[in-house]
């Protein structure tokens, strides 16, 4: 296995981390949010478990059979489809969501903040972030207190790489509608800017304000993920255990626990967790993570099958209107078609300039033998101060390839000091590269 395969764990930890922020706390259901809340209101977060969400879809479908002119119910149904797609990893629900929002706006074209905010969330789920920002702004023009509109606006700015604007949007949202969806986004923006201490503080405040099992599970998982990313595997297990006591089959919490178990070297337990997770929700990061765990355990056949499913997922994603280029670029760079990886990475980088798209383009260029061209993008990926071991690993390997040995040694040392088990394969490769640099 080449060094390129070592980056796929980041696809799980980074891109899935993004999806966690974008949807789990963003799709706030349970009725319109057109009235300003009390200042201390806590957002009602939709849990990750799918069964309850399916019940919501059925209830709304039954309601619309009796009242097909109910614009609010159509908007709520669209939001429920978006959440169902997230929970199941099934993008085929997105066209149904789009139709529901269209029906809602057709029935009430003016002042329909719920449908506009829902359509913004759908655009974000499809990775169409300019459209998400446009629709969120339109929703907020109607209702400045729309929780979903405020949340998606932050998401869109983050995913367009507009981090200072995202931080300001998070502060504005906190002033207008404080609650779990806003707190967790504020923490993520802080994390992207390298301020993990403040990110942790905000998440701890959010957890302290959590009033439902879903809120506890979501915020505890976010704390667990942050702890894992900084090498705190015991703390990650503690926080994810807390989340699972609140919601015993929360898939995000189980994924957090699986990564922490892998970090502590318990690969069999991590594999067992991921097998359960992938059976329920075969999202790209989860498929790749399980594949890497199989590889680390000497099972290349099962690993290869996990990677092959990624192609099927990408086809389903495109059919559902999702742009999977970032996922495609990372997977292709790691597992075969380097030309396709570079095309996808370039396309995504042209659309948005984020730490993740800079990293994907850097790695695809490196894998295509263009490390000199890759280096500025690898450095741009780490320029915000974002403390991510896989991004530092990529940078170090690229620096090594262009002969910048001292810089490579520094980047690889930082990666391993930050999160010594950021990937069961990548960390091993980083140590080998570092040993080679120090020996010669």
- Model confidence band, residue 55 (pLDDT cutoffs 50, 70, 90): low
pLDDT bucket at 336, cuts 50 / 70 / 90: low
Residue 7: pLDDT over 50? no
Mean pLDDT over each residue of the chain, to the nearest integer: 87
Residue 33, pLDDT score: 53
This prediction has a pTM of 0.84
Confidence of residue 326 (pLDDT cuts 50, 70, 90): confident
Span 347-379, pLDDT tens digits: 999 999 999 999 999 999 999 999 999 999 999
Quick check: 173 pLDDT over 50? yes
Give CA separation, 363 vs 142, 147, 171, 290, 366, in Å: 42, 36, 33, 21, 5
pLDDT of residue 30: 38
Per residue in 93-104, pLDDT (tens digit) is: 999 999 999 999
| The 3-state secondary structure of the chain, one letter per residue | CCHHHHHHHHHHHHHHHHHHHHHHCCCCCCCCCCCCCCCCCCCCCCCCCHHHHHHHHHHHHHHHHHCCCCHHHHHHHHHHHHHHHHHHCCHHHHHHHHHHHHHHHHHCCCCCHHHHHHHHHHHHHCCCHHHHHHHHHHHHHHCCCCHHHHHHHHHHHHHCCCHHHHHHHHHHHHHHCCCHHHHHHHHHHHHHCCCHHHHHHHHHHHHHHCCCHHHHHHHHHHHHHHHHHCCCHHHHHHHHHHHHHHCCCCHHHHHHHHHHHHHCCCHHHHHHHHHHHHHHCCCHHHHHHHHHHHHHCCCHHHHHHHHHHHHHHHHHHHHCCCCCHHHHHHHHHHHCCHHHHHHHHHHHHHHCCCHHHHHHHHHHHHHCCCHHHHHHHHHHHCCCCCCCHHHHHHHHHHHHHCCCHHHHHHHHHHHHHHCCCCCCCHHHHHHHHHHHHHHC
Q: Work out the pLDDT band at 14, boundaries 50, 70, 90.
A: very low
Confidence of residue 152 (pLDDT cuts 50, 70, 90): very high
pLDDT of residue 363: 94
Distance CA 440, CA 438 (A): 6
With 70 as the cut, is the pLDDT of residue 158 above it?
yes
Q: Lowest-confidence range among 225-234, 249-258, 281-290?
A: 281-290
Task: Give the mean pLDDT of 283-308.
Answer: 90
Rounded average pLDDT over 391-418: 97
Residue 27 has pLDDT above 50, yes or no: no
Residue 5 pLDDT grade (very low, low, confident, very high; cuts 50, 70, 90): very low
- The pair of three-digit structure tokens given for residue 138, joined into one six-digit string: 């339109």
pLDDT reported for residue 23:
40
Distance, in Å, from the CA atom of 152 to the CA atom of 157, rounded to the nearest integer, reads: 9
What would the mean pLDDT of 190-215 be, rounded to a whole number? 95
The model's confidence at residue 56, banded by pLDDT at 50, 70 and 90, is: confident
Distance CA 149, CA 173 (A): 9
**pLDDT at site 104:** 97
Rounded Cα distance between 401 and 248, Å, is 46
Higher pLDDT, 439 or 172: 172
Q: 340 or 128: which carries more pLDDT confidence?
A: 128
């Amino acid at each position: 296995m080449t060094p390129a395969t070592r980056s796929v764990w980041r696809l799980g930890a980074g891109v899935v981390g993004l999806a966690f922020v974008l949807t789990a706390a963003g799709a706030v259901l349970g009725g319109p949010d057109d009235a300003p809340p009390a200042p201390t209101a806590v957002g009602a977060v939709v849990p990750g478990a799918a069964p309850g969400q399916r019940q919501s879809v059925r209830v709304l479908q039954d309601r619309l059979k009796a009242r097909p002119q109910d614009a609010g119910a159509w908007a709520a149904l669209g939001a429920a489809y978006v959440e169902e797609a997230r929970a199941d990893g099934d993008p085929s629900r997105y066209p149904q969501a789009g139709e529901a929002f269209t029906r809602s706006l057709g029935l009430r074209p003016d002042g329909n903040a719920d449908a506009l905010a829902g359509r913004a969330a759908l655009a974000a789920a499809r990775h169409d972030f300019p459209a998400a920002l446009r629709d969120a702004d339109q929703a907020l023009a109607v209702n400045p207190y729309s929780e979903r509109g405020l949340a998606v606006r932050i998401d869109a700015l983050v995913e367009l790489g507009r981090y200072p604007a995202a931080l300001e949007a998070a502060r504005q949202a906190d002033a207008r509608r404080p609650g779990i969806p806003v707190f967790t986004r504020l923490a993520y923006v802080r994390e992207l800017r390298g301020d993990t201490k403040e990110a942790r503080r905000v998440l701890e405040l959010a957890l302290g304000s959590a009033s439902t099992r879903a809120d506890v599970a979501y915020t505890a998982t976010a704390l667990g993920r942050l702890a894992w990313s900084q090498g705190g595997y015991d703390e990650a297990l503690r926080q994810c255990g807390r989340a699972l006591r609140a919601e015993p089959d929360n898939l995000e919490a189980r994924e957090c626990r699986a990564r922490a178990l892998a970090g502590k070297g318990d690969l069999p337990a991590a594999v067992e967790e991921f097998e359960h997770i992938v059976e329920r929700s075969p999202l790209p990061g989860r498929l790749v993570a399980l594949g890497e765990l199989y590889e680390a355990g000497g099972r290349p056949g099962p690993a290869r099958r996990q990677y092959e499913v990624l192609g099927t997922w990408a086809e389903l994603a495109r059919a559902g209107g999702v742009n999977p280029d970032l996922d495609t670029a990372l997977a292709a760079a790691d597992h075969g078609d380097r030309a396709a990886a570079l095309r996808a990475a370039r396309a995504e980088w042209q659309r948005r300039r984020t730490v993740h798209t800079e990293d994907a383009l850097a790695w695809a260029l490196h894998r295509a033998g263009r490390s000199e061209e890759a280096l500025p993008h690898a450095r741009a990926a780490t320029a915000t101060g974002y403390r991510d071991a896989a991004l530092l690993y990529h940078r170090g390997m690229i620096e090594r390839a262009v002969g910048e040995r001292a810089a490579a040694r520094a980047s690889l040392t930082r990666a391993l000091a930050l999160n010594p088990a950021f990937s069961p394969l990548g960390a091993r490769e980083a140590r080998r590269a570092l040993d080679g640099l120090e020996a010669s």
